[in-house]
Amino acid sequence: MRFDHRLAAEFMFDEQDLWANRNGRFSDSQRRLLVNTVAAVRRPRPGLKVALFVLFGALVVLSAAVVAGSGGSGAQFAIVIAILAGFGAVIGGLRRQMASRAARMLTAPLQVVAGTAAVSLHTSGGASALTSYRLTVGDRRFVLDSSRADAFVNGSPYRVYFIEALAGPMILSVEAG
């Protein structure tokens, strides 16, 4: 297997990263990338909090107006508030779950798969179809954008170093055979 400059450019790794991965380790730059990714997921977003607070307030006012306009009781308004609070709790729980999954990336083991590449185009959805590329190496499937998919040659051997990340496997480095 050898270092491939095009793969390195597409996946943003260098020879030091590949050397560390070959030896079962993360390079310092890869460790920083993982730490920064986790920090970005965990970082509070004040703008989002303000927007959600304003949206919640607007929904409360709108609910009160609808209940009052329809001759409804205070009990109906309380039910609407409880439902909105439930949605807020669900959003908060999902945020905590995502932060927890991101933190596990820091302790995720480096994995490697070797085999021949098979790149395929995948389209999902109807009128607003989403297009992605799927790379299969050995028994692993990776979802890629078109430029990264173009860096692989169908039927050629590769060794892919990756970790399990938030949205599936995250490729850290690749070497061509």
- pLDDT of 5 reads 96
| DSSP notation for 145-161 | -HHHHHTS-TT-EEEEE
Position 26 scores a pLDDT of 93
Contact 159, 114 (CB under 8 A): yes
Q: Can you tell me the distance from the alpha carbon of 29 to that of 34, in angstroms, rounded to the nearest whole number?
A: 9
Give the pLDDT confidence score for residue 92 in this predicted structure.
75
Please tell me the predicted confidence (pLDDT) of residue 6. Answer: 96
Q: What is the pLDDT along the chain (177 residues), one digit of tens a residue?
A: 899 999 999 999 999 999 999 999 999 999 988 888 777 766 666 676 677 778 778 877 777 777 777 776 667 777 777 877 787 788 777 777 767 766 777 778 999 999 999 999 988 776 667 788 999 999 999 999 999 999 999 999 999 999 988 778 999 999 999
Question: How confident is the model at residue 72, as a pLDDT?
Answer: 66
Strands lying side by side in the sheet with 111-124: 140-144, 130-137, 111-124, 157-165, 168-176
Question: Residue 176's pLDDT is what?
Answer: 95
Cα(45)–Cα(51) distance, rounded to whole angstroms? 10
This prediction has a pTM of: 0.69
Q: What does the pLDDT read at residue 157?
A: 97
Q: Could you tell me the CA-to-CA distances from 176 to 2, 86, 150 in Å, in that order?
A: 5, 50, 14
Domain ranges of the chain: 5-25+110-176, 41-105
